[in-house]
Amino acid sequence: MPFKPSISSLSLTVVIGAGTITSAMGQVMIEVGTGNILNGAFAAPSPYANQQNGSRNQLLILASELQSAGMAQGTILGLGFDVFAASGTVFNSFSISIGNTPVAALSGTWETGLSPAWGPLDFADLNGWTYHAFDSPYFWDGVSNLVIETCYSNTTTSQNARVRQTTTPFISCVARNSPNPAICTDPGGQHQQFLQRPNVRFQWVPLETPPIAYIASNTLLSCTGEFMFTDASLYTPTSWEWNFGDDSTSAEQDPVHTYLNSGTYTVTLIATNAFGSDTAEVTVTVDLDGNQPVAACDAPSTGTVEGFGILNVSIEGIAHVSGDAVADGGYMDNTCGSITVLQGTDLDLSITTAAAASHAVRAWLDLDNSGIFTANELLLSASGPVGEFRYAHFSWCGVGHTAALTRYRRVRSGDAGSAGLRNHPIRTS
């Protein structure tokens, strides 16, 4: 089960190894990584590794991961790792450093410019969550990626602690295990790079700032009446008051609401924390009576490659925005909305892709409204690196229908590659 952010409501003292922390009102505990992958007793990565005399590890945690876990701008008081089986050794002069970085993946070069946060102190790991209360708390700006470094050097060897870890789609951990007594300062050496990272639990204190409320929604137009609203507020609200504009309310953080009648509704969110409240509004439209087209296609398999997929399909200057293939599951259905294009006029279509190296982009117009996209209905076929693919000034004639405004058409766009086909059915009329 994912670890949920929690506010400490009592004052207590926890002592683990050589670290001590006092927890009081306003402090928050969050966890990044909930996987159960275990390294072997003589395999990396492990922040508590003693297969060699010394071990140096760097972990990269993206700002988006911290934000998703519930962290905002504030002061990090300490961190810990989830130990499944302790190493059974004492780590001499164990230290932790931390700092910001612009990189989105680690490499064979150590990240530099980190700030000392804990130690160097002798430390013995234990089973369960360890904890290192920082000697020098670290202020995180809320938007930068973080690098955490652990290091020590012993005169003897034993085995590595086995710690719970989570896979990542980027190189998130770099390790060097070596008898070199200068391992913590040596810029060289052989680095092992990993697409997995030890789970990390942070203790932090939010900046004493009231929330800035934001509302995210899966759509602003629905033909079924169902909307999935998400609290996207900054500065860690702890309570939420939603009003959906139809005399319905909710106190959930991310509610799902279904409207029973067509119309336009103003959705209001009041987000609150210990330092104040803020209000956000968004307008949504429900059309339960429209003449909807047949479903454009079945959703493909879920995408697995971050940074791959279509981010925007623009028709006649109207943007249809989505996340990448992972964020939106490889499929986005926009057939509920309509774009009116008069018969004989030009249609401007552009498709913008995500940051993957290359995309094969296709777009079709379902001229006969059959739900089947054929070769003669292909509008755009292009391949290349990230960027915008454009099919401008397509003049269409309604094929067999003289009243173009009474006939629904679908535009289907997709990209194919290692993430599979990414589809965006969109209706024109």
pTM of model > 0.95: no
Tell me which amino acid residue 311 is: L
The residues pairing with 47 across neighbouring beta strands, listed in sequence order, are none
pLDDT of residue 303: 64
pLDDT of residue 282: 95
| Domains by residue range for the chain, with CATH | 6-206 (2.60.120), 215-286 (2.60.40.10), 310-428 (2.60.40)
Cβ atoms within 10 Å of 371's Cβ, excluding its own: 14
Measuring CA to CA, how many Å separate 61 from each of 23, 67, 145? 24, 11, 6
Residue 3 CB contacts under 8 Å (≥ 6 apart), including other chains: 29, 30, 31, 34, 201
Closest CA to 92 of 159, 18, 154, 184: 154
pLDDT of residue 21: 29
pLDDT of residue 366: 73
C-alpha angle 153-157-159 in degrees, rounded to nearest 5: 110
Rounded CA separation 294/29 (Å): 48
pLDDT of residue 338: 67
Mean pLDDT by runs of 10 across the 429 residues of the chain is: 29 26 56 93 91 93 93 90 93 94 94 93 91 91 95 91 95 93 86 94 86 87 89 85 97 95 96 92 88 54 67 77 69 68 74 73 76 78 63 37 32 46 41
Rounded CA separation 49/57 (Å): 9
66 DSSP assignment:
H
Sign of the dihedral through C-alpha 43, 49, 51, 53: positive
Strands 276-286 and 221-222: parallel
Rounded CA separation 361/274 (Å): 48
